Amino acid sequence: MSQAYSIIYDSASYDLANGMAKDLGLGLDGMVEIIRTAFKDGEFKLRFSNEVKADEAVLVMRMYPNVNDNVVALMFALSKLKGMGKSIRVVLPYLAYARQDKEFLSGEVASIYVIGDMMAHYGVKELITIDVHSHDILGRLGVRVTNLSASSMLSEYLNNSGGLSNPLVISPDEGSIERSRVFAEYIGTDYAYLKKHRDRATGEITTDEKELDVKGREAIIFDDMIATGGTIANAAKMAKSNGATKVLAVCTHALLIDGASDKLKDAGVDSIIASNTISNSFAVIDVSALISKALQRDA
Residue 35 lies in a domain: yes
Mean pLDDT, range 14-24, rounded to an integer = 97
Residue 47 lies in a domain: yes
Given pLDDT bands bounded at 50, 70 and 90, which one contains residue 152? very high
Poorest-confidence range of 15-19, 90-94, 204-208, 251-255?
204-208
Interatomic CA distance for residues 215 and 194, integer angstroms: 16
Considering the domain architecture, whether residues 168 and 56 belong to the same structural domain is answered as no
Whichever domain contains 198, its CATH number is 3.40.50.2020
Q: What residues are labeled active site?
A: 196
Interatomic CA distance for residues 299 and 292, integer angstroms: 11
Residue 19 lies in a domain: yes
Residue 172 DSSP one-character state: S
Considering the domain architecture, whether residues 144 and 53 belong to the same structural domain is answered as yes
DSSP for 44-111, written as a single string: EEEEESS---SSEEEEE----SSHHHHHHHHHHHHHHHHHTT-EEEEE-SS-TTTT--S-SSTT---H
Considering the domain architecture, whether residues 146 and 171 belong to the same structural domain is answered as no
> Is the torsion defined by CA of 241, 245, 251, 254 positive or negative?
positive
Which residue(s) pair with 147 in the sheet?
Answer: 129
Residues 110 and 100: beta-carbon distance below 8 Å:
yes
Residue 1 lies in a domain: no
CA-to-CA dists, residue 268 to 165, 201, 237, 259, angstroms: 19, 28, 6, 15
Cis peptide bond N-terminal to 65, omega within 30: yes
Considering the domain architecture, whether residues 11 and 119 belong to the same structural domain is answered as yes
Considering the domain architecture, whether residues 271 and 292 belong to the same structural domain is answered as no
* pLDDT for residue 299 is more than 70: no
Considering the domain architecture, whether residues 145 and 16 belong to the same structural domain is answered as yes
Q: How many domains does the chain have?
A: 2
Considering the domain architecture, whether residues 184 and 215 belong to the same structural domain is answered as yes
Considering the domain architecture, whether residues 18 and 49 belong to the same structural domain is answered as yes
Considering the domain architecture, whether residues 170 and 243 belong to the same structural domain is answered as yes
Mean pLDDT, range 53-63, rounded to an integer = 97
Q: How many residues does the structure list for the chain? A: 299
Q: What is the pLDDT of residues 271-294, one digit of tens each?
A: 999 999 999 999 999 999 999 999
Q: Is 299 exposed, middle or buried (0-12, 13-18, 19+ CB in 10 A)?
A: exposed
* pLDDT for residue 254 is more than 60: yes
Considering the domain architecture, whether residues 129 and 183 belong to the same structural domain is answered as no
Q: What is the pLDDT of residues 187-210, one digit of tens each?
A: 999 999 998 777 767 767 778 778
Q: Phi first, then psi: what are they for 6, rounded to 5°? A: -115, 130
Amino acid symbol at 225:
M
Q: What is the pLDDT of residues 242-253, one digit of tens each?
A: 999 999 999 999
* pLDDT for residue 1 is more than 50: no
Considering the domain architecture, whether residues 202 and 128 belong to the same structural domain is answered as no
Q: Write out the residue range of the structural domain in which residue 248 sits.
A: 151-276
Considering the domain architecture, whether residues 166 and 143 belong to the same structural domain is answered as no
